[in-house]
Amino acid sequence: MKRKEFIRQLGLIAGGVTVGLDKVTAATAYAYNPVQVNMQATNGKIMVLVQLAGGNDGLNTVVPFQDDIYYKNRPDIAIKKADALSLNGEIGFNPSMTALKKLYDNNKVSVIQSVGYPNHSRSHFRSTDIWNTASDSNVVLQEGWAGRYLNSIFPEYPVKLPEQPMAIQLGSVESLLLQTDLGRLGTVFEDPNTFFTLVNGSTSDNDAPPATLAGNELKFLKQVAVQSIQYSAVIKTASDKGTNQMTYPNTGLGRQLSIVAKMISGGSETPIFLTTIGGFDTHANQLGQHFNLWKTVSDAIATFQTDLEKQGLADKVTVLTFSEFGRRVNQNGTLGTDHGSTAPMFVVGNSVRGGIIGANPNLSDLDGNGDYKLKIDYRQIYATVMRDHLGVESASANSILKKDFEWLPIYRKSAERTPSESAFDLVQNYPNPVEGLTKIRYVLNKQQPVRLTLHDMTGMELMVLREEIQDPGTYTQTVDMSTMPSGLYLYSLMGEGGQRKSLRLVVSRG
């Protein structure tokens, strides 16, 4: 059995915290340092994702009740004008969304219209992968965009594990969103107490591994297993310590968000939570089904927001909804709608600007597939949330998303924020993994002394790549890794006042 498949088969039971050890050499494994790193790499902010699985119908979510074309195309399933919860006299929420409408009226909901991606796929699986990886429709990636973000702020993973889970998914099967080529970064469970009971019975034996190459790797596996199992206690402690100040709806999403709120209340510093609600593939009898779905989503998110506000925690949390695609403008023969492309997204929280971003769908100007046209690339929302909520520098956000995307005025501070507020920024090298030459880019916002160095994962300095005083600007350093053994490395930039940023570099051959 190949090594990578062997690692997958082991599973390391602890909620998906499984390491991609195919990228780790035996030498690195032997040097593994079990001392955990703290969570200071984050800015204390939290993103809670709500996935609307199945393809949400945007037109019956944000209803164009003044548009006759909408009613002409949906004679049986359109939301009546009198029932829509008006937002601006032209569009309104589905009548089931009364709780979310109250938040909107208090400027705590930003509605982004006509969101999607070019050359849209109508496949549930492929489109979900595109949203999870932040890729173009013709590019297949194996790493989630949230996983790439987490890798950027925890560059020493998997040799050093954070003291708390990097991401938590409420569910049973880990999303591609949280996966990277170095491992699965999400801890997945449905209930903290059940998860603790399950994992608490797991042990990693203390027998000394044999003094062989395989023994070194077995030692590494055992150490990672011990660290992973410890997350169950961290999760249970936060859940037990935390409280809910609101009674949540007795729905799947309500229970998920109540757990997230309790963990945040209990001191969890995990920066990403993923929750999911299914059922949005409304091919038949859509009207009542879609009404109930959005009542569930609206009530759960509003309860979550109010709960955080009562506990003084709402300023640190953003809720982001997404779905793999929207649905067609016209109804089908079974009183439903078929797979489409663009749809609205919601960003909820104390720090959002609120209101509507983007023009309303133009139903008189459809594309060749009968869908209203894309106006905002979904990665613009990702870029904005990373930059204006999670505190990621613009250059790093572009590196994570693999392109430069224009930000949107979602947050109150968005208009005032400059592209970069720190003295410098360090960008992920490319290509990575690397066999020979790779390029490291960094941005200086003022003149300062610069020291760019290469280290092994134990922190030992291997090479000084550049050391001088440099003017403001963007710099690229080409590094030849052809003589370096396969494995994990760190490159570090030290700038003004001794500030330092580090990112991980992978050498992989064969």
In sequence order, what DSSP letters do the residues of 389-443 get, joined into one string? Answer: TS---HHHHHHHHTS-----S-BTTTTT--S--SSEEE---BSSSBSSEEEEEEE
Q: Is the pLDDT of residue 181 over 60?
A: yes
Do 137 and 151 belong to one domain? no
The answer to whether residue 242 scores a pLDDT higher than 50 is yes
Rounded-to-integer distance, Cα 461 and Cα 453, Å: 7
Are residues 34 and 73 both part of a single domain?
A: no
* 82 Cβ neighbours under 8 A, 6+ residues apart: none
Give residue 182's pLDDT band: very low, low, confident or very high (50, 70, 90).
confident
Does one domain contain both 292 and 162? no
Task: Please give the Cα distance from 504 to 194 (Å, whole number).
Answer: 35
State the pLDDT confidence band at 219, using cuts at 50, 70 and 90. low
Domain range enclosing 154: 3-43+147-236
Q: Are residues 281 and 379 in the same domain?
A: yes
Residue 272, pLDDT > 80, answer: yes
> Based on the structure, what is the number of domains in the chain?
3
| pLDDT over 80 at 220, yes or no | no
Q: Computed from CA positions of residues 154, 159, 161, 165, in that sequence, does the dihedral angle turn out positive or negative?
A: positive
- Does one domain contain both 317 and 389? yes
Weakest-pLDDT range from 17-21, 118-122, 170-174, 320-324: 17-21
d(CA 337, CA 77): 9
467 three-class SS: strand
Does residue 231 belong to any structural domain of this protein? yes
pLDDT in tens, 282-326: 999 999 999 999 999 999 999 999 999 999 999 999 999 999 999
- Tell me the C-alpha distance between 311 and 316, whole Å: 12
Identify whether 264 is part of a domain. no
- Residue 58 is assigned to a structural domain of this protein: yes
| pTM for this predicted structure | 0.85
Please give, one letter per residue, the 3-state secondary structure of 206-228.
CCCCCCCHHHHHHHHHHHHHHHH
Q: Is residue 182 part of a domain?
A: yes
Q: Please, which residues bridge with residue 507 across strands?
A: 434, 487
Judge if 126 and 99 occupy the same domain.
yes
Between CA 494 and CA 213 the distance in angstroms is 36
Cβ density class 260-274: b for 16+ within 10 Å, e for less: bbbbbbbebbbbbbb
Between 352 and 5, where is the model more confident? 352
Q: Looking at the predicted structure, is the pLDDT value of residue 11 above 80?
A: no
pLDDT at 43: 81
Residues 153 and 121 grouped into a single domain? no
More confident residue, 483 or 5: 483
> What per-residue confidence (pLDDT) applies to 431?
87
Average the pLDDT over 62-69 and give the result.
Answer: 97
Name which of 444, 440, 487 is nearest 464 in CA terms: 440
Cβ atoms of 76 and 320 within 8 Å: the answer is no
Our CA angle for 459, 157, 27, nearest 5°, is 55
Mean predicted confidence (pLDDT) in 253-281:
97
Give a yes or no: residue 251 inside a domain: no
Q: Are residues 296 and 325 in the same domain?
A: yes
Q: Rounded mean pLDDT of the chain?
A: 86
Q: How far apart are CA 287 and CA 295, in angstroms?
A: 12
For residues 382 and 274, state if they share a domain. Answer: yes
Q: What is the pLDDT of residues 357-388, one digit of tens each?
A: 998 999 999 988 889 999 999 999 999 999 99
Least confident of 29-33, 197-201, 212-216, 435-439: 29-33
Is 198 part of a structural domain of the chain? yes
- CATH number reported for the structural domain that contains residue 477 in this entry: 2.60.40.2550
User: Does residue 304 sit in the same domain as residue 345?
Assistant: yes
Asked if residue 279 and residue 327 are part of one domain, the reply reads yes
> Is the distance from CB of 300 to CB of 254 less than 8 angstroms?
yes
Residue 329 has pLDDT above 90, yes or no: yes
Query: Over 90: is that where the pLDDT of 106 sits?
Result: yes
CATH code at position 136 = 3.40.720
Query: Which of the residue ranges 45-54, 192-201, 484-493 would you say has the lowest mean pLDDT?
Result: 192-201
Tell me the C-alpha distance between 270 and 262, whole Å. Answer: 13
Digit-coded pLDDT (tens) for 395-436: 889 889 998 898 899 998 865 544 445 788 888 888 888 999
Task: Give Cα 153 to chain centroid, integer Å.
Answer: 13
Is 111 contained in some domain? yes
Do residue 172 and residue 129 come from a single domain? no
Whether 25 maps to a domain, the answer reads yes
